[in-house]
Amino acid sequence: MSRLRAGAVAPVQKPMMVALVLGLVVGVFSFIGLTATQADAAVPPKPTVGTCYNYGWTAYSGWSQTGKKVSCSTAHTAKTIALGTLVSGTTRTEASLTREANYSHMVKTCVHALRDKLGSTYSKRNQSAYTTAFFVPNVEQFDAGQRWFRCDVVLPGKDTLKNLPTNRAKFLEGVSLTQRTRGCLSGTYVGPYSCLSSHTYKSISAFKKAGTTYPSTDSFERAVANNCPSRTRAYSKPSRYEWQTGDHWVVCYERNTN
């Protein structure tokens, strides 16, 4: 799975803010299913873009997901929005899958696909809780020569996945953020996630960080102090990979448990 934004500590210029030590969330994974298992009689086929699923948190947190497909017109928690090919030479090990060349390729592919699927603006997209999960072939598929990776759009809550829209081509185009789709944070939980779940901070605005080189933490914090509303108590910043795709937007959060 993938969580693309990076949490951050609050700027020292605003001492009433609390430090959210969320760390760089790109790369926070559960490597469930990476060990070899007995081969199934039938190897699951390569996934297809546009397929919907109704998996839960455990599947979302794993590297592979071959669950039952469902109709996209019924309740579902995930939809495949892109397929890519693993970098040549990648093996099904943690070290190989997360090495820079392959990991960067997967994340950037999913970032671009999510941007297209959500539509609207950088500001609205980054204030939302929508993100991507990405998966690789399971042991049987990998042994059979499959080398794809898959990007799914999901709407995480706190240890749960919310249902996705069933009637919108671009999820955020022409609609306002709601309690369901707005991004929230807590002091102990990696986010953002849907504000329907209990939370401590709620997104209130976003701004574009100037510059071309990925900024230092101090640079991000100065920008937050200068650009976020005075009631801001936390922020999230783009990961290095997001920055390289052109997303230079920082999100401001107020303390809000409603």
Sheet holding 183-185, edge to edge: 5-7, 232-238, 249-255, 201-208, 183-185, 193-194
**144 pLDDT more than 80:** yes
Nearest one of 256, 74, 73 to 182, comparing CA atoms: 256
Which pLDDT does position 191 carry in this prediction? 80
Q: Which amino acid is at 188?
A: T
- pLDDT band of residue 41 (cuts 50, 70, 90) is low
End-to-end CA distance of the chain: 28
| β-strand partners of 253 | 203, 234
Would the CA dihedral through 173, 178, 184, 189 be positive or negative? negative
Range of the domain at 244: 5-255
**Mean pLDDT across the chain:** 87
Nearest one of 148, 76, 151, 150 to 114, comparing CA atoms: 151
Cα distances (angstroms) measured from residue 11 to each of 16, 91, 130, 214, 252: 9, 41, 26, 18, 11
Q: Which residues contact 251 (CB under 8 A, 6 or more apart)?
A: 5, 126, 127, 183, 192, 203, 205, 206, 235, 236, 237
Q: Residue 138, Cβ neighbours under 10 Å: how many?
A: 23
- pLDDT band of residue 21 (cuts 50, 70, 90) is very low
Which pLDDT does position 15 carry in this prediction? 30
Say how far apart CA 228 and CA 234 lie, in whole Å. Answer: 10
| Percent of the chain topping pLDDT 70 | 84
Nearest one of 10, 20, 36 to 92, comparing CA atoms: 36
The rounded radius of gyration (Å) of the Cα atoms in the chain is 18
Task: Quick: pLDDT tens for 172-215.
Answer: 999 999 999 999 999 877 689 999 999 999 999 999 999 999 99
**107 pLDDT more than 70:** yes
**Strands 78-85 and 52-53, sheet pairing:** antiparallel
Contact 122, 112 (CB under 8 A): no
- Looking at the 3D structure of the chain, how many domains does it have? 1
| Full-model pTM | 0.85
Tokens read off for 85: 């090919």
Contact 232, 11 (CB under 8 A): no
Say how far apart CA 252 and CA 258 lie, in whole Å. Answer: 16
